[in-house]
Structure 1
């Protein structure tokens, strides 16, 4: 059986950022539903759920060693950027700020992986 080549540090960081962003978005979805109002707008909730999904997909692609991760990471970077912007519009809320920060970190690391 052939040994798998080790991943580089940047990819490991990106996997961690994607995993963290996925969890943060899923946790924040509940917060948004509980708060209601602008937190629970359909566009915002849909974007957060999509962000969580693409983060999980990108992390899984990298963990599998799939060379198509550049495509999932490119999509992830854009969706995370948009999700961060959406969360930042509700910036008077610490939970939303933490979600936006996780999305920004993920967007930056995925953009590097997609380059």
Structure 2
């Protein structure tokens, strides 16, 4: 879980910091869809991170959503990068986070008793 927590933190930072860069680049980089996806990815990473830090028994649910959004964001950043190092780095971090979150889901750790 510690590795996934670290990857979610790093992906959140990568996506959040890429937003102003994309807005500066303009064109398709600053499209509503791309910026919205970066925001969604940063937010779902923060949510998954929070669930894991709190040791919520529902962390696999947020990790599953995080993996899906991170994969979509990675594909989008990679497709529009045109050699831009920041976008390619963000895509790589998104893929790392997606893989890590997918592993968390596959572990399906037993739910913690709430009693």
State the TM-score, normalizing by the size of structure 1.
0.90
Shift of 1:62: 0.3
After TM superposition, the structure 1 = structure 2 runs for residues 59-74 of structure 1, keeping only pairs within 5 Å, are 59-74=49-64
Q: Cα deviation per residue 1:20-52 (whole Å; 9 max; x = unaligned)? A: 000000000010011110111111110110000
Q: What is the rounded CA distance, in whole Å, between the counterparts of 1:75 and 1:33 in structure 2?
A: 26
Q: Cα deviation per residue 1:82-105 (whole Å; 9 max; x = unaligned)? A: 000000012320000000001000
Aligned pair 1:34/2:27, yes or no?
no
Alignment length (residue pairs): 105
After TM superposition, the structure 1 = structure 2 runs for residues 49-60 of structure 1, keeping only pairs within 5 Å, are 49-60=39-50
Which of residues 93, 100, 103 is equivalent to 1:112? Answer: 103
In structure 1, what is the equivalent of residue 11 of structure 2?
A: 21
| Structure 1 residues without counterparts, runs of 5 or longer | 1-10
In structure 2, what is the equivalent of residue 6 of structure 1?
A: none
Aligned pair 1:90/2:80, yes or no?
yes
Structure 1 ranges of 4+ moved more than 2 A: none
In structure 1, what is the equivalent of residue 112 of structure 2?
A: none
